[in-house]
Amino acid sequence: MRTLLITAFAAAAVFAASHTSDACTRVVYKGPNNTVITARSMDFSIEIPANHWIFPRGIERNGEVGKNSLRWKSRYGSLAVSSWDMATTDGMNEKGLSANLLWLTASEYPEFDPDGDRKGMSVSLWAQYALDNFATVEEAVREFEKEAFAIVTDFIPGTDKFTTVHLSLSDATGDNAIFEYIGGKLVIHHDPDYTVMTNDPPYAEQRAIAKYWQGIPGKVFLPGSVTPSDRFVRASFFINAVPQTDNTRVAVASAFSVIRNVSVPYGFEIEGYPNLSTTRWRSVADHKNRVYYFETALTPNVFWTDLRKIDFAESSGVRKLDLSDNRTYAGECSAEFVAAKAFKFQGL
């Protein structure tokens, strides 16, 4: 117990010493009869516009890192959430695979030689690559294990933020995986039980924190700060404490209630700690019913898109739901998407 305590608080200290990251949480709800729901909060120190995009099957893409870019054609259509219309940070595809990018300060990506033999892909496309190509987490793990390409990163344009993220995937079977680059090497954490993650520290240390807190009853005491380690503990407790049901309305409400509980109040800041950041938006992906819910901090409503109502045929074209200027939507919004030219992913 003493060793676990030291490990947990050492991990928290590592986080507290890192002042350049931004905070997020992702949690997976599992109810009976294949009820699987992934919720995430996007916490960031600056506004992060999040337009929604419908991408059909058959889109030709490249890794946006020059002549040595990885190239592929999308197998599956998807609903993608963009950041500044230069990257996909979240979304769900027509098969029910969900992808979420969260900040991870400790990320160190492999070296990339633009003239070498190994293909490269901008980190802005990492989540979209998964949505384009895989129906399940297992498929994605098998492909990523090959390390056939290098993830290439850079500063977010117009900021001093060097992009360092890890990727989580969840699917309709309830499977989960977290992909991190530590010391230039890909580390894959693959287990259906890996239902909770935050941004820092690396996932192995998050699991150590979770193991320590398993010995402390959540009904007696839960840590209440906005640090990733505390949010991890609260999310882990509450996702199992809320009703476990196949009633979709109750299950979605439960997932929303947990992700709201671990969100950061709007405008919150501590001088010297920009990594403890306002929650800008929240998403909830219902894998079983293929419905993607969304809310932002500055608009009053939850809205959602039923992917079963979307035509993902190659000929259907790219469509956009514009969330700029705090545009407000309510209810099911599949009919609100309009034809648009796809944004260009940020690369080198």
Residues assigned a catalytic role: 24
Element (H, E) at 53: strand 52-55
End-to-end Cα distance, the chain: 47
Radius of gyration of the chain (CA): 19
Q: Helices in the chain by DSSP H: which ranges?
A: 2-17, 126-133, 137-144, 203-213, 228-241, 248-261
Residues 33 and 264: beta-carbon distance below 8 Å: no
Q: How far apart are CA 19 and CA 187, in angstroms?
A: 24
**Cis previous bond, 201, omega within 30:** yes
- Phi and psi of 157, rounded to 5°? -55, 135
Bond preceding residue 157 cis, omega within 30 of 0: no
Q: Give the amino acid at 58.
A: G
Cα dihedral across residues 158, 201, 347, 319: positive or negative: negative
Tokens, residue 48: 């992060």
Torsion of CA 334, 336, 338, 341, to 10 degrees: -70
Residue pair 26/241 in contact (Cβ under 8 Å)? The answer is no
Q: Which two tokens stand for residue 315?
A: 């000929």
Instruction: Assign residue 84 a region (left: φ > 0; alpha: ψ between -120 and 50; beta: otherwise).
Output: left
CA distance 269 to 274: 7
